[in-house]
């Protein structure tokens, strides 16, 4: 019997704009590694791949939860002890007018849910340039155009508030801040945050504050300030989680704290909660680590920030002595975003660096950048000998390529 030949299943056209530079480049690294080369990975912000381990009391809490039978579905917004612990820390940090707290499958799901509940096709969110690529991927999925504002490299990578104001239009619904910043390592000043709040206030916008690195400040001159603590009349949704400061990215536990006027936030939070109910719950046993994480010993942070401080110093020292490299010293998180004075695009640079010297960094154009500029994002989590070897290989690559 003749059968009809099936046509190809075609992906949605909007998927053409979905990119995730950090992992896309790893495919090339796998090819290089398959040829027998040892790769020096400076590309993924996963502390567990290096010499960082989660606090033991968190592991014990999860094991106990599993043994005690907490292996089924949890409440859609999160288990009660976790919500109470997040609320308690938020209040200790100065959050007021807390309207909702919810736990998600990593901060990525929380962010996706909040954007999905807010935006119709054609709406936009002001996102930083350079940005963390997750946001652009979600916006593309939602058929929402990019509306990027500049981070000012000449001003310590602070948001260019004048550029934010210029970019606001009739379809703008929110302003996104990533503070401490990925990919630049910047920590935003109180003055900058207050200016952003004033714009949000004037234009009736919600502020999304990605603060997943808030505890990883290693520069003694810097202090992290949550933008939600500076105003109670502006709706703010603050994203955070266990992944970075508590060294368990694979547990996929993130959360959001929504603050501001109840009557302003109520319809939107209702939509967010409906989406959360539809997906049932975040991983149940791992939620039992939230309370011991936030309320238990914080000793590990001293060690973590000490390591990051020294590794940031090594990175800054390399940039200072390497021709064609200029770096704004990072103050938090574990990223550096140096600019390169090179006559080619930065994707070609990082691809050939990987193939020839077996060092993997990420091209700045994968995060968005001003036209005509060239950058790379470095993750300086690896141990000091690995960093030193990688930086020497990068310097050698540049000498050979541009001499």
> Where along the chain do its domains lie?
13-53+299-402, 57-295
The confidence band for 93, taking pLDDT boundaries of 50, 70 and 90, is: very high
Asked if residue 21 has pLDDT above 70, the reply is no
Asked if residue 29 has pLDDT above 80, the reply is yes
Residue 196 exposure: Cα atoms within 13 Å on the Cβ side: 31
Q: Residues 78-104: what's their mean pLDDT?
A: 98
- Phi first, then psi: give them for residue 206, nearest 5 degrees: -85, 150
Residue 20: predicted pLDDT: 67
Each residue's pLDDT tens digit, 185-241: 999 999 999 999 999 999 999 999 999 999 999 999 999 999 999 999 999 999 999
Residue 2: predicted pLDDT: 59
d(CA 104, CA 43) in angstroms, rounded, equals 25
Do the first three CATH levels of 13-53+299-402 and 57-295 match, i.e. the same topology? Answer: no
Query: 32-46, 66-80, 151-165: lowest mean pLDDT where?
Result: 32-46
Residue 22: predicted pLDDT: 67
Asked if residue 1 has pLDDT above 80, the reply is no
Query: 2-6, 159-163, 287-291, 380-384: lowest mean pLDDT where?
Result: 2-6
Q: Residues 282-307: what's their mean pLDDT?
A: 98
Residue 23: predicted pLDDT: 67
Q: Residues 390-399: what's their mean pLDDT?
A: 97
CATH of the domain spanning 13-53+299-402, picked from 3.30.465.10, 3.90.1150.10, 3.40.50.2030, 3.40.190.10: 3.90.1150.10
Q: Residues 265-276: what's their mean pLDDT?
A: 97
d(CA 198, CA 189) in angstroms, rounded, equals 15
- Phi first, then psi: give them for residue 339, nearest 5 degrees: -95, 150
Residues in the chain: 403
Burial pattern 331-357, b for ≥16 Cβ within 10 A else e, equals: bbbbbbbbbbebeeebbebbbebbeeb
Handedness of CA 182, 188, 194, 195 (dihedral sign): negative
What percentage of the chain exceeds 70 in pLDDT? 98
Q: Residues 234-252: what's their mean pLDDT?
A: 98
User: For 236, which DSSP code?
Assistant: E
CATH of the domain spanning 57-295, picked from 3.30.300.10, 3.40.640.10, 3.40.50.11540, 3.90.650.10: 3.40.640.10
Residue 274: predicted pLDDT: 98
The confidence band for 28, taking pLDDT boundaries of 50, 70 and 90, is: confident
Strands 158-159 vs 147-152: parallel, antiparallel or unpaired? antiparallel
Asked if residue 17 has pLDDT above 90, the reply is no
- Sequence-distant (≥ 6) Cβ neighbours of residue 70 within 8 angstroms: 79, 284, 285, 288
Mean pLDDT of the chain: 95
Asked if residue 342 has pLDDT above 90, the reply is yes
Q: Residues 45-63: what's their mean pLDDT?
A: 96
Each residue's pLDDT tens digit, 99-152: 999 999 999 999 999 999 999 999 999 999 999 999 999 999 999 999 999 999
The confidence band for 290, taking pLDDT boundaries of 50, 70 and 90, is: very high
Dihedral, 320, 191, 228, 186 alpha carbons, nearest 10: -10
d(CA 196, CA 189) in angstroms, rounded, equals 11
d(CA 30, CA 39) in angstroms, rounded, equals 9
User: Token digits for 318?
Assistant: 């390399």
The confidence band for 11, taking pLDDT boundaries of 50, 70 and 90, is: confident
Residue 3: predicted pLDDT: 61
């Amino acid at each position: 019997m003749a059968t009809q030949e099936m046509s190809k299943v075609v992906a949605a056209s909007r998927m053409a704009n979905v990119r995730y530079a950090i992992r896309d480049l790893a495919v090339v690294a796998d090819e290089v590694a398959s040829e027998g080369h040892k790769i020096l990975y400076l590309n993924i912000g996963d502390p567990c791949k290096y010499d960082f381990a989660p606090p033991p009391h968190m592991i014990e809490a999860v094991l106990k939860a599993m043994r005690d039978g907490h292996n089924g579905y949890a409440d859609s917004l999160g288990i009660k002890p976790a919500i109470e612990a997040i609320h308690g820390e938020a209040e200790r940090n100065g959050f007021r007018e807390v309207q909702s707290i919810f736990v998600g499958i990593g901060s990525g799901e929380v962010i996706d849910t909040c954007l999905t509940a807010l935006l119709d096709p054609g709406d936009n969110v002001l996102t930083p340039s350079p940005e963390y690529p997750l946001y652009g991927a979600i916006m593309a999925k939602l058929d929402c155009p990019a509306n990027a504002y500049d981070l000012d490299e000449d001003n310590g990578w602070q948001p260019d508030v004048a550029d934010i104001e210029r970019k606001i239009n009739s379809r703008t619904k929110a302003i996104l801040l990533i503070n401490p910043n990925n990919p630049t390592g910047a920590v935003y000043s109180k003055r900058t945050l207050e200016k952003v709040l004033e714009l949000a206030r004037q234009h009736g916008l919600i502020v999304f504050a990605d603060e997943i690195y808030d505890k990883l400040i290693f520069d003694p001159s810097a202090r992290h300030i949550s933008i939600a603590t500076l105003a109670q009349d502006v709706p703010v949704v603050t994203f955070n989680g266990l992944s970075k400061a508590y060294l368990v990215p694979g547990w996929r536990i993130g959360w959001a704290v929504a603050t501001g006027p109840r009557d302003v936030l109520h319809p939107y939070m209702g939509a967010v909660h409906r989406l959360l109910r539809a997906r049932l719950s975040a991983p149940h046993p791992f939620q039992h680590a939230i309370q011991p994480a936030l309320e238990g010993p914080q000793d590990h942070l001293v060690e973590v920030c000490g390591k990051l401080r020294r590794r940031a110093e090594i990175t800054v020292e390399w940039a200072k002595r390497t021709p064609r490299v200029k770096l704004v010293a990072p103050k938090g998180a574990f990223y550096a975003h140096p600019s390169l004075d090179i006559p080619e695009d930065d994707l070609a640079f990082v691809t050939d660096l990987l193939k020839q010297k077996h060092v993997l960094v990420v091209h700045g154009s994968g995060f968005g950048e001003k036209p005509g500029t060239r950058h790379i994002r470095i993750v300086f989590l690896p141990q000091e000998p690995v960093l030193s070897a990688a930086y020497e290989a990068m310097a050698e690559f540049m000498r050979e390529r541009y001499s």
